Structure 1
Amino acid sequence: MIRLGSVIAEFEADFLAQFRHRLSFEQLRALSALRDCRSAASPMMQVQCSDCAHHQLVPHSCGHRLCPHCQHHESQQWLERQMQRLVPADYFLLTFTLPAEWRGLAAAHVDVVFDSLMRCGWETVLRFSQNDRQLQGTPGAIAVLHTHSRRLDFHPHVHLVVSAAAVDAATRRWRCKRRGKNGTYLFNEKAMAKVFRAKMLAAIEAAGIGLPASYPRQWVAHCQSVGSGEKALIYLGRCLYRGVIREQDIVACEDGQVSFRYRNAQTGKSERRTLSRVNFLWLILQHVLPKGFRRARNFGFLHANCKRLIGLLHLLLRFDPSRFKPPRKERPAMLCSCCGAVVAIVRTWIRPTSSVVVAVVPRIGVAI
């Protein structure tokens, strides 16, 4: 397996010589974090064996959300929280996508455009739910921002897992969409795309940002039934904290080029893409989000402030969300390199020095 950090370490100088003027502070910080993750250049922690009392130094993980092998535990925790908020209703996966003509605007004003993308997506869902004859209320939604396609191109879009049920706060009523012969129908895709487009135009103009010279009149919105919502959340949770590429998918790094594989969404087959070394690193770093930007948000009655309401719904509807148990991967214990016994952490964040001898402790996918 080719480590992303080793690719960065080998090609960083050439990359910075060509792209430094285009990089933000967050992108430079991400480049440094991914390069030093679990290496001799990262801060160390001291561990002690429980049997032979052997001491050794182990490098910390970087913890950056773009890193492909960090924050697996955080992803698990997020998924468990969302599972506990599920209610007895049909769920739909809604996707709102920015047109290709807006990608340059999004790259230049990341924080404003991405925030508007998530907010306008939710406002569109809320408007349709309040106007729907069967719902007439506020639904619940879990939104996750994606910035890339399967080929890792810059392709901003937001996914919303939306309940086909709503709460009417004025009358204190709980309403669900009725199932027809062909299942449950939520909202019309073309109508949602029109409303979403209008809201995005208004949001960008209100922010004082100039609109592109030309853009399509028809935008794209998708609405897909996902049953109880469990599988859709697992899919979103899998992509939330693991960067944009798996290290297992980096298949070659030679002759100044990097090749990675991806699955073609149209054919379902695995394909390979090859780029020059600097273009590959730029492809990765263009997906760095601004510091503090939340790419996963809860809206409506699934908001974090509505825990009492969700608990009341579970009680009144006699629904036990604990039956939805996401696949759990416990953090494997770190083992001593001498005797194989479990080691304990006795000191953390030790500054690395040139005289430090770094030990690689056996562990699988542990982020510390």
Structure 2
Amino acid sequence: MARATLEVAQVLKRTKERLEHYSSNTWQLRTLHAIRKCRTAALGGHIDSCTNSSCNKLHLSYNSCRNRHCPKCQGHKQELWIRKREEELLNVPHYHVVFTLPDTINTLCLYRPKEVYTLLFASAWSVIKDFGSNPKFLGARMGMIAILHTWGQNLSLHPHLHCIVPGGGMTAAGNWKDIAKAKSGYRKARYLFPVKAMSTVFRARFVAGLKKQFEQPISFYEALFKKNWVVYCKAPFYQNRHVVEYLGRYTHKIAISNHRIVSLKDNKVTFSTKDYRRGGAKYKLILPDAEFIRRFCLHILPKGFTRIRHYGILSSS
């Protein structure tokens, strides 16, 4: 892919004197400045020398910020991660499952993101683990790789987990049990578990976790049970190569890539987006610099927060 001509960093450079007003904490501000300085003289550089004796040309390269929210620093990390996963994935079908939080939770995500997102991971894994251990569905210990995304196409807050789940698990006797051979009527539909049942259990467990950590009016929790929570499950991938390629799209993806920016005129940012409620229709969204940066900051995760996690038979423990 050709290098993008317009960048998020350009927006941050022209607003650098006002960035502290657009970010809500010092960690967000540090992240914005890191992205602004990425691959510029501000971060220093190094000299690359051609090893060909007939060339010997020198090239000055500026250092990268290596921030995980930077649009320019994810390609190499993504490639390394994919290579490692190719060595680890089991040679079985894998399912893509998405757990999504309703927008009612967004306010809590803004003020207590670490607690809410940690609970999202825990609730999703508890659903996969318990459905898998249930003899009605499989009766084995499963595994999961989960990746947190917090954005929608228009940079709004839209927390959800992309999970890759192998199609089977280990029995108590230490044998592999293939989920495709489990005796259950819905198995003919080629989906992991019944999504309506998964959605109901996911909602109940997440809300139970919220009640333990947050003091909210009873009406707040009642409203959560009135909403339909979404758990989406795709048909399985049957080849590891397809799993890795698909998963690679999500691992080091950030809120917006530089390639989506189409204009930076008049202190406004125009970028391409899709409306999935209208069948993925494409359109261009125009935001003032301040609003663009505010939305970008919604997706800067807390310092040290782990956004890719491994569970069960896919974990190191």
What TM-score results when the alignment is normalised by the length of structure 1? 0.75
CA shift, 1:97, in A, is: 0.8
The alignment's C-alpha RMSD in Å is: 2.3
Whether contact under 8 Å (2:100, 2:161) holds in the other structure is yes
**Distance in 2 of aligned mates of 1:224 and 1:151:** 24
CA shift, 1:295, in A, is: 0.7
SS of 1:41 mapped into structure 2: helix
Q: Structure 2 stretches of 5 or more lacking a match?
A: none
CA shift, 1:210, in A, is: 3.4
Where do 1:41-56 residues align within 5 Å? 41-50=42-51, 51=53
Q: Residue 94 of structure 1 aligns to which amino acid in structure 2?
A: V
**Distance in 2 of aligned mates of 1:209 and 1:159:** 28
Q: Residue 245 of structure 2 aligns to which amino acid in structure 1?
A: I
Where do 1:1-368 residues align within 5 Å? 1-17=5-21, 19-20=22-23, 23-50=24-51, 51=53, 57-133=60-136, 135-168=138-171, 170-178=172-180, 182=188, 184-210=190-216, 213=220, 214-217=223-226, 218-228=228-238, 230-265=241-276, 266-305=278-317
CA shift, 1:102, in A, is: 0.5
Q: Structure 1 stretches of 5 or more lacking a match?
A: 306-368
Alpha-carbon deviations, 1:250-270, whole Å to 9, x = none? Answer: 001111211000233342332
Whether contact under 8 Å (2:137, 2:193) holds in the other structure is no
Whether contact under 8 Å (2:71, 2:257) holds in the other structure is yes
Q: Residue 274 of structure 2 aligns to which amino acid in structure 1?
A: R
SS of 1:261 mapped into structure 2: strand
CA shift, 1:76, in A, is: 1.2
Q: Residue 117 of structure 2 aligns to which amino acid in structure 1?
A: F
Question: Which of the pair has more CA radius of gyration?
Answer: 1
Aligned length: 301
- Percent identical across equivalent pairs? 29
Whether contact under 8 Å (2:144, 2:163) holds in the other structure is yes
CA shift, 1:226, in A, is: 2.8
Of structures 1 and 2, the one scoring higher in RCO (CA 8 A, sep 6+) is: 1
**Distance in 1 of aligned mates of 2:8 and 2:137:** 50
Higher helix share: 2
**Distance in 1 of aligned mates of 2:117 and 2:242:** 25
**Distance in 1 of aligned mates of 2:191 and 2:43:** 52
**Distance in 2 of aligned mates of 1:85 and 1:3:** 35
Q: Residue 83 of structure 2 aligns to which amino acid in structure 1?
A: E
Q: Residue 11 of structure 2 aligns to which amino acid in structure 1?
A: V
After TM superposition, the structure 1 stretch with the greater mean CA deviation from structure 2, 235-244 or 257-266, is: 235-244
**Distance in 2 of aligned mates of 1:13 and 1:251:** 24
Q: Residue 173 of structure 2 aligns to which amino acid in structure 1?
A: T
Evaluate the alpha carbon distance shift between residue 281 and residue 136 of structure 1 in structure 2; reply closer, same or farther with a 3 A threshold.
same
Whether contact under 8 Å (1:177, 1:184) holds in the other structure is no
CA shift, 1:15, in A, is: 4.3
CA shift, 1:231, in A, is: 3.3
**Distance in 1 of aligned mates of 2:43 and 2:139:** 54
Alpha-carbon deviations, 1:230-265, whole Å to 9, x = none? Answer: 434423322322422121110011112110002333
CA shift, 1:80, in A, is: 2.0
**Distance in 1 of aligned mates of 2:173 and 2:208:** 32
Evaluate the alpha carbon distance shift between residue 112 and residue 250 of structure 1 in structure 2; reply closer, same or farther with a 3 A threshold.
same
Evaluate the alpha carbon distance shift between residue 233 and residue 269 of structure 1 in structure 2; reply closer, same or farther with a 3 A threshold.
farther
Alpha-carbon deviations, 1:25-58, whole Å to 9, x = none? Answer: 2211110111000112222223445456666643
